[in-house]
Amino acid sequence: MDNRKVGMWLYQNGGGDKIQKKIIKRLKEREIDVLPGINLRDAIAKNSHILWKDKKLDKLDLFFSYNAGEQTQYQMYLAKALNRVVPMINSFESLELTEDKFQTSFLLRRHGIQTADYKLCHRDDTHHLKTIIKKWDKMVYKPTDGWGGVGLTKIENQETLDMIMPFLNQMDLRYFYVEKFIDYDNTDYRVDIVDGQFVGCYGRKASGTDWRTNVTSGGSVFVREPNDDVINLALNATKVTGLDISGVDIIYDRKKEEYVVLEVNGIPAFATPVQEKMGLNFNEKKIDLIVDLIDRKTKK
């Protein structure tokens, strides 16, 4: 019997290249061949096939796509078609869901999972925002498809809202998505899950007076042990999204005295070499679980 064939597109910075080598080696031991570096940017679709460097991607047994930094509209568009005929990790459907903050919050809340209170309205329905700021006191405006804390705007009161409204209107937004600002200690938990199992956890702390924990916003990573509530919340949120691999961001709401899911990430980074030295030691476990998962999903 021919070896199983898996396509792969994994980020190469921050130690990603070494992770890729390890995954390829372990899959090889299970007689699974890997075709790495499949950037759908260079692929085309032609009639019933999706072609990349003369290779028919539709013949793959699975496509492991893991490169958040280089995910463009074209790649997503092709991935959507590819996933109709080839299993993907993560599935296109789940990835698309979690790339959208509103769609994710909506589904999580429907399943009784605590998130920040939110409101979505048409860009012309500004009166909704005015009524909600009175009730909430502080809120956060979020682009539904943003990343790295970019574009997030904290709205402290009615006056700030009035002030930024002309800017928001100018920005040609399709909709307003706002969340209640959660009173928390400016630290979060990032919980990694693979295949329904807890992999590891670390924390992030916002720098100085910033309220955003993102590393790109100056936040710093630290070793952090999660309790059972945090782990279970992450497991449940992941299950709802259908992600095989996820990184769930959780904060503790000091007013409501409960943990809240802020975000579910479909391409959570492995610990970088520097972070590994700090004591973030979940990479091996994560690799093992991913290899098991690929093996199981490609069993014929």
Ligand X SMILES: Nc1ncnc2c1ncn2[C@@H]1O[C@H](COP(=O)(O)OP(=O)(O)OP(=O)(O)O)[C@@H](O)[C@H]1O
Q: Site residues (CB under 5 A) for Mg ion? A: 263
212 binds ligand X (CB under 6 A): yes
Single out the residue of 69, 146, 273, 279 in contact with ligand X (rule: CB under 6 A): 146
Binding piece for ligand X, criterion CB under 6 A, among 9-17, 84-92, 149-157, 268-276: 149-157
Which of Mg ion, ligand X, none lies near 171, with the C-beta cut-off 5 to 8 A by kind?
none
Which of ligand X, Mg ion, none lies near 279, with the C-beta cut-off 5 to 8 A by kind?
none
Single out the residue of 88, 104, 176, 188 in contact with ligand X (rule: CB under 6 A): 188
Window 240-259: residues binding ligand X (CB under 6 A): 249
Binding piece for ligand X, criterion CB under 6 A, among 147-155, 164-172, 228-236, 276-284: 147-155
DSSP string, 56-93: EGGG-SEEEEE-GGG--HHHHHHHHHHTTTS-EES-HH
| Measured distance CA(80)–CA(93) in Å, rounded | 8
Window 252-291: residues binding ligand X (CB under 6 A): 262-263, 265
| Measured distance CA(106)–CA(98) in Å, rounded | 11
**Which of helix, strand or coil describes residue 149?**
coil
- Amino acid type, 157: N
| Measured distance CA(228)–CA(259) in Å, rounded | 11
Single out the residue of 8, 19, 129, 182 in contact with ligand X (rule: CB under 6 A): 182
Ordered alpha helix ranges (H), 112-156? 126-136
203 binds ligand X (CB under 6 A): no
Query: H or E segment at 205?
Result: strand 197-205
The two structure tokens encoding residue 295: 């093996």
Question: By beta-carbon distance, which residue lies closest to Mg ion?
Answer: 263
Query: Which residue, 137 or 284, is less far from ligand X as judged by CB?
Result: 137
Please answer whether residues 194 and 290 qualify as being in contact, where contact means their C-beta atoms are separated by less than 8 angstroms: yes
**Which of helix, strand or coil describes residue 69?**
helix
Window 87-126: residues binding ligand X (CB under 6 A): 101, 116
214 binds ligand X (CB under 6 A): yes
Q: How far is the CB of 57 from ligand X (least distance, A)?
A: 27
| Measured distance CA(241)–CA(232) in Å, rounded | 14
Which of ligand X, Mg ion, none lies near 152, with the C-beta cut-off 5 to 8 A by kind?
ligand X
Tell me the angle at which helices 16-29 and 283-298 cross, rounded to the nearest 10 degrees. 40
| Measured distance CA(233)–CA(235) in Å, rounded | 5
The residues binding ligand X (CB under 6 A) are 101, 116, 140, 142, 146-150, 152, 179, 181-182, 188, 211-214, 249, 262-263, 265
